[in-house]
Amino acid sequence: MDSRDDGNASGECGNVERVFERGLWLSRMLVVVAVVSTLAVAILMFLLASVDVIRLMGYVPAIFTASDDAMTHLRLDIIAKVVKVVDIYLIATFMLIFSMGLYELFISKIEPSAGSEVAHRLLVIRDLDDLKDRLSKIVLLILAMLFLEQALRIEIRTASDLLYLGGGVLLIAASLYLTQKKKTGGSS
pLDDT tens-digit map of 131-153:
777 778 778 888 888 888 888 77
Q: Three-state SS for 116? A: coil
> What span, in angstroms and rounded, lies between the C-alpha atoms of 176 and 7?
62
- Distance, CA of 142 to chain centre: 8
**Cβ neighbours for 32, distance < 8 A, ≥ 6 positions apart:** 103, 107
Residue 188, pLDDT above cutoff 60 = no
- Whole-model pTM: value is 0.68
Least confident segment among 93-97, 131-135, 164-168: 131-135
Q: Three-state SS for 115? A: coil
Q: What is the pLDDT of residue 43?
A: 97
pLDDT tens track for 45-74: 999 999 999 999 988 888 888 888 888 888
Contacts 24+ apart (CB under 8 A), 37-41: 38/95, 38/96, 38/98, 38/99, 38/102, 39/95, 39/96, 39/99, 41/95
Alpha-carbon Rg for the chain, nearest whole angstrom, is 26
Say which amino acid occupies 29.
M
Cβ burial of 56 (10 Å; 0-12, 13-18, 19+) is middle
DSSP letter at 183 equals H
Residue 183, pLDDT above cutoff 70 = no
